[in-house]
Structure 1
Amino acid sequence: MKAIIYARYSSDNQREESITAQIRACTEYAERNGYSIIKIYTDEAKSAQTDDRPGFLKMMSEIKGNLVKPDFLIVHKIDRFARNRYDSAFYKRELRKAGVVVQSVLEHLDDSPESIILESVLEGMAEYYSKNLAREVMKGMRETALQAKHTGGLPPLGFDVDKNKTYVINESEAPAVRMIFEMRDAGYGYNAILDALHKNGYKTKLGKPFGKNSLHEILRNKKYIGTYVFNRSASKNPDGKRNNHLSKNPEDVIEIPNAIPAIIPESLFWRVQEKMNQNKKQNATGGQKAKVVYLLSGLIWCGECGKRMVGSSSTYKTRVTREIRQRHYYLCNNADRTKTCNNKKINKHTIEEYVLNKLKQDIFSDEAMPKLAKKLYDFYSNSKKEAAGEGDYLKKELAKVDRQIENIVDAIADGTAVVRAFTKKLKSLENKKATLESRYQEWYIKQQEQIISFEKILEILNNYKQALHSDDPLVVKQVIERFVKKVIIKTDTIEVNLMVSVHTTGGGGGS
């Protein structure tokens, strides 16, 4: 069996050795299970909450492109893979398509239904930790912001930050800022402004040519009139991307007028804002059409021919108003392309509501949830008990190695052994001891961490239940993909197979 390793640490404050320790633990795990490591991927000081992880993305690209063909992907802990449940579910699904199974060194999860659901509980805890940490970091940043000091990252073009984190004007960059505002006020468009900046040799803060997005950011930034602004940009979307054109609610934004030195006059700034707002209204086209999310894509199958069913749509005109509308449905891929299957298409809303109701009844009802939580807690507790004996084994092995090392050292000291003959053996034993100590430390950490109570499992299941009612279809889709194994559509029946049964209505699967 072939395996690859993915390791990362998410803070510049963590030591580089933490990646080395993860790789060592993953390598030992592979050796214990008889896997052959064919490649190792790493990301340093990257967050698992976003896709800004070149090592991870390279790994996914090479797997999908068949450049590497592993059977397993080994991580030290689930949160090394991803701390966002949607991100985790998406990539694991991609890996499953490629025949790759994710395995964690410290969380021994198999492919059983209980293990799959328990994994989501662990991911939920990791996501909670990540968001809680972000909240605590934000508290400290807000205190800094209330003093109108720089909170991190690059300051805007035209500003530098002194040793006290106070904004000061960068006189070599400020002329570019003034040019941008003055040209926009004079009616010049973005292309003309970009040309002028290029001809004058001006660059962005990163030393790159200006683009339209960077111009927009500059023209909307109140710091240029001396107003300190913090926490304006809207939060990142589920893909970890941020639209800097969107803003948070005013009550969440800190603004302190006359707190930093101004680069341009207020009158110039507000004239430009008025022009930009007018253009925005003129260019409005009634809004873009919302992208339709098919909640069951990848999970729904034709029960007549065994092929996948895919989301599709068609348009029609209403009889009275002749308004153009769309119908959305799922149809058999085989029936659509080859016409060799006679299964009918099924209305998108109808089948999705059927599956959601099935989940609410068999997994998230008041009767089912405590039973599922108990089942998961028992499974988790038994796994912990099975792992408990590993500590005794490792301690015995360590004691045995210590005795062997001591015997060799004593023999060398007494002169009853040839030093050269025992040097190789001694080095081998010391390496073995280091490996055992590392394994024991990992075992100890595992025993101390993640003591999941029945109440905590029930709380996380309740969070999933609430997510089913989310206005964001991607959130709903995430829950469905976690708890639904397959939906099978026949000409006269619908079968919903859930990941786990809790025996409230005769089984978790079925129609």
Structure 2
Amino acid sequence: MLKLRNPIYIGYPAYNKCSNLHGKHKRSEWKLQPKKEELVIVDKEVFLKTQELMDKRKPYENHSGTTTKNTFLLSNLIYCGYCGKKLKAENNRNRPKKVNGKSFETKIYRRYVCEHAKNKHEIHEQRDFGADKHEDIIISLLADVMKKATFFIDEKGIKQEKESCLREIERIKEELSQLYSSYFQLKNENQLERLAKLEKDILEINKNLFNEETSFSALITKENSIELLNIELPNWNSKYYSCSVMEKRQMLGRIIEKVILKKGSFELLTKDYIAHPAIISHKIKEINSSSVVIPKVTGKGSGVQVPHRSSQILTSKRC
């Protein structure tokens, strides 16, 4: 698609396409060199008509300037219940129609799609899910639970993980320090065989250090999420429904680990630092063709078996 935008096909080599400071520039910032007839391979009128058609197909922007691609509230959180792969957020636009010579705007349909099934690697009972419908059901369910259930955050567990991770990082650094000391000593003594083995050991331990430091960084991020979630929980619903799309996605991301979709049902797994609610089961009954969520909350001490992992499950069935 980008090749169709290149003015070199009508004889105008372009420059100022990018810079070290700002990266790629917008096409409106490109600068054209004088026309070179020997480079022309497309008629100018055809080229300009192509640009006009491509501009019409650009992502729709609403009044706030946000493209519809950014309005998917569960993007990166939603998974296929048949193959386990992450669902892709897609916009589908129907073809423009003309009635009595008048053009009507195209309508955009948002959906979550299993690319694995779409590319025919596997047949699923359902491969795409309407985003508007499923976001409304899932988020309404979550909002209802937020009003009725008490959330308990396992901050102590995160703190213990951090302390353990820091101890391991310090241990690895101490081990590396000793190995480097031995390495330089062997190097001075020109003991090449022992040096080669020691280099492998140092490389492996550096990998372990990198993994531990990555884990520690993830724990810091998780700790920040917990801090924000503790602030949001008392008035979660009012805050959620009054904030921007981007803020909504961030708030959902602090609670939801993943949503697993199947035809007629879904499971919502919360983050592993949410220790309660334990299990929340739901049924959706059809009343006058509209879905009504009826939550049933069960917790520890109620005789219900709690999953081994601390991430909890919310389940829903749709008739």
Report the structure number with the largest CA radius of gyration: 1
TM range (shorter): 0.3 to 0.5
Greater strand percent: which structure? 2
TM-score, reference length from structure 1: 0.28
TM-score, reference length from structure 2: 0.40
Greater helix percent: which structure? 1
